[in-house]
Amino acid sequence: MTLPKMMTIGTLAAGYEAGTLTPLDVIEAVIGRIQSWPDPAVWISRFSDDELRAAAKALMAAGGPSPDKPLWGIPFAVKDNIDCAGLETTAACPAFAYRPAQDATVVARLRAAGAIPVGKTNLDQFATGLNGTRSPYGAPRSVFDADYISGGSSSGSAVAVGAGIVAFSLGTDTAGSGRVPASFNNLVGVKPSKGMFSTTGLVPACRSLDCISVFAATAGEADFVRRVAAGLDPADPFSRDLPDVVLPTEGLRVGVPVGAEREFFGDAANEAIYVAAIEAMKALGCSIVEIDFAPFREAANLLYSGPWVAERLAAVEAFHAAHADAMDPNVRKIVEGALGVTAVDAFRGLYALEGFRQKTAATWAMVDILLLPTTPLFPKVSDMLADPIGLNSKLGRYTNFVNLMDCAGIAVPAGFRPDGLPFGVTLIGPAFSDAALAVWGDRLHKAAATGYGLDTTADLSAMPAPEGPQVERIEVVVVGAHLSGMPLNPQLTGGGGVLVKRCRTASDYRLYALPGTVPPKPGLLHSPGFDGPGLEVEVWALPPAAFGRFVAAIPAPLGIGKVTLDDGSDVSGFLCEPHALEGAAEITALGGWRAYCAAK
């Protein structure tokens, strides 16, 4: 089997299943692609060719693909601030290098799932930067043009995937390092919720904010890796394991910056693609809500201009004290900005952040997610070297706030500029909305039809969609005062309910306006043999406990029974006792409660 230009988890798994491919075949291809790739700055270290072959042979000898090894034979790369047993961890600083005794928890989970680590990739030193030029091992370049940066700090990890050398990679993301490189290499970058991935075995940048991240070809594959790697780790004090947050599967409310807050620093090409992404979300059935982005931007400034810079010094304090001259000058300058920060400054920073949280609460009440440019600019390496601090700050305009605000994010390709360079956008949601974000990120990526990595013509429609949130929920059909925007809808949203879809009942239902109800309510009646227009309804989903409380509070003569929808499915929903409809006005011909309310 000849491997395609891009390695994907799905392609390799299909080859293994069909018996046309073995892990040894794949590793030979990986070795060949590493040797032929023209950019020597991608890797800091890697396993020898013979070690990689031995790993593939050992995997094959232990048995073939199985449910307990969902990543069997899949090659991946590891950012070199994450421990991988058998290779040094350098954090892109040779004087800092050490040889770990064991894998980082995330790497160990991926190996246990059958994945094969290939090597350690380059990064902005100590994961400090968004550009990929702050490393003594060189500056990895965008896979589309060697004059342009690959993005940082997870530079090598993104290039290794974008070039088709490995199927996925691990990066990290404190300020945007798992999203910016995705944009510059036509990839998906998943920044998980804080604490979802263990950081045991990670050289910290800002320990309270750090996230290990994933680069992959599609949202489905990136989210698949996320599911394998995630999980509570008692050894990590910042580890969290919380239920999935559900987002609407239809009618998503999407926040976008308004006015001057939509800043591209004169880059009209990126702005045009962003506007097109907004239109694509509209076409997917989303409603666009313009928001004041200023509180998010001001919160982002705290990361480098506030006391959180002291956390970067805390991560390398002993090394800095002994070897400051071994650090990259720009990284050292940023870290030493913490030397004058006091405990009082730290508390003031916390107070300021909580103030910004309060200011953004009203925005989150209006929207389900944010849709932002991943970056406003796409600089050349020469431009970045000429203005390393200023341009880096501009790159983080839409990324730096996300971990401070405890959000999840997924960066997806959105299109290509006239010069052929890629541009991406990021979907940002509440903590632990990762699975739901992946669903929408996948839809947007497929609408953009950018392919992935260097394979810009790949057929995304054939790629599996993410699974979506793995939560137990019960669906309920509402027909009247509980519809979106109606007086009783907060009874659903307040219980964690999400809108699943808008549809109609089957044709054999009648609708009546119930007299004397407050607020006004309709009564839905099943009338076998009746052939009507079908009635406008919404299907909502509630957690089981919330569903129980909701049903218990329904007043007579209404109750819950099975309602047949226009697609033939039967879902629990509101029905009315027939005796209550005596003397009630039938409004079936209007087609639904909204039409009746509008006609009154």
- Beta-bridged to residue 539, according to DSSP, are 477, 501
**What DSSP state is assigned to residue 505?**
B
84 class by beta-carbon count within 10 Å (0-12 exposed, 13-18 middle, 19+ buried): buried
pTM exceeds 0.85: no
Distance between CA atoms of residues 582 and 562, nearest Å: 22
Q: Which domains does the chain have, with CATH numbers?
A: 9-462 (3.90.1300.10), 474-599 (3.10.490.10)
Question: In one letter, which amino acid is 225?
Answer: V
pLDDT in tens, 9-63: 999 999 999 999 999 999 999 999 999 999 999 999 999 999 999 999 999 999 9
Give Cα 63 distance to the centre of its chain: 33
| Residue 540: its H or E element | strand 536-542
Distance between CA atoms of residues 277 and 443, nearest Å: 11
Show the CA angle centred on residue 493, arms to residues 487 and 497, nearest 5°.
130
Contacts with 54 (C-beta within 8 Å, 6 or more apart), sequence order: none
Contact predicate 434/192, CB 8 Å: yes
Question: In one letter, which amino acid is 247?
Answer: L
Distance between CA atoms of residues 76 and 215, nearest Å: 10
Q: Are strands 253-257 and 141-142 parallel, antiparallel or unpaired?
A: unpaired
Q: At what angle do helices 268-283 and 434-448 cross, to 10 degrees?
A: 110
Distance between CA atoms of residues 289 and 230, nearest Å: 32
C-alpha closest to that of 373 among 272, 252, 249 = 272
Distance between CA atoms of residues 7 and 221, nearest Å: 11
What integer pLDDT is reported at residue 305 of this predicted model?
Answer: 85
- Beta-bridged to residue 558, according to DSSP, are 576
**What DSSP state is assigned to residue 546?**
H
What integer pLDDT is reported at residue 1 of this predicted model?
Answer: 66
| Residue 523: its H or E element | strand 522-526
Q: At what angle do helices 329-336 and 388-395 cross, to 10 degrees?
A: 70
Share in percent of the chain as helix, strand, coil (round to 5): 35, 20, 40
Distance between CA atoms of residues 274 and 425, nearest Å: 7
Helix, strand or coil for residue 282? helix
Residues with a known catalytic role: 79, 153, 177
Q: What are the two backbone dihedrals, phi and then psi, of residue 542, each rounded to the nearest 5 degrees? A: -125, 145
| Residue 455: its H or E element | none
Q: Which long-range contacts (CB under 8 A, 24 or more apart) does 381-388 make?
A: 381/133, 381/139, 381/141, 381/147, 381/148, 381/149, 382/147, 384/131, 384/133, 384/149, 385/133, 388/131, 388/133, 388/134, 388/330
Distance between CA atoms of residues 428 and 409, nearest Å: 4
- Beta-bridged to residue 13, according to DSSP, are none
Contact predicate 484/248, CB 8 Å: no
210 to each of 309, 404, 423, 502, how far by Cα in Å? 13, 10, 25, 39
Contact predicate 406/431, CB 8 Å: yes
Q: What are the two backbone dihedrals, phi and then psi, of residue 4, each rounded to the nearest 5 degrees? A: -70, 175
C-alpha closest to that of 356 among 412, 402, 324 = 402
The counts of H helices and E strands in the chain are 19, 21
What integer pLDDT is reported at residue 275 of this predicted model?
Answer: 98
Question: Largest Cα–Cα distance in the chain?
Answer: 88
Helical segments of 324-461, H only = 329-336, 343-366, 381-386, 388-395, 401-404, 434-448
Show the CA angle centred on residue 340, arms to residues 335 and 345, nearest 5°.
105
Q: What are the two backbone dihedrals, phi and then psi, of residue 462, each rounded to the nearest 5 degrees? A: -85, -10
What integer pLDDT is reported at residue 31 of this predicted model?
Answer: 98
Contacts with 114 (C-beta within 8 Å, 6 or more apart), sequence order: 59, 65, 69, 70, 71, 72, 73, 74
Ranges of residues in the chain with a pLDDT under 50 are none
| Residue 311: its H or E element | helix 309-323
Residue labelled with tokens 């909204």:
594
Show the CA angle centred on residue 198, arms to residues 197 and 200, nearest 5°.
150
Structure tokens at 42: 């991608």
Neighbours of 189 (CB within 10 A): 36
Helix, strand or coil for residue 125? helix
Structure tokens at 266: 């004169």
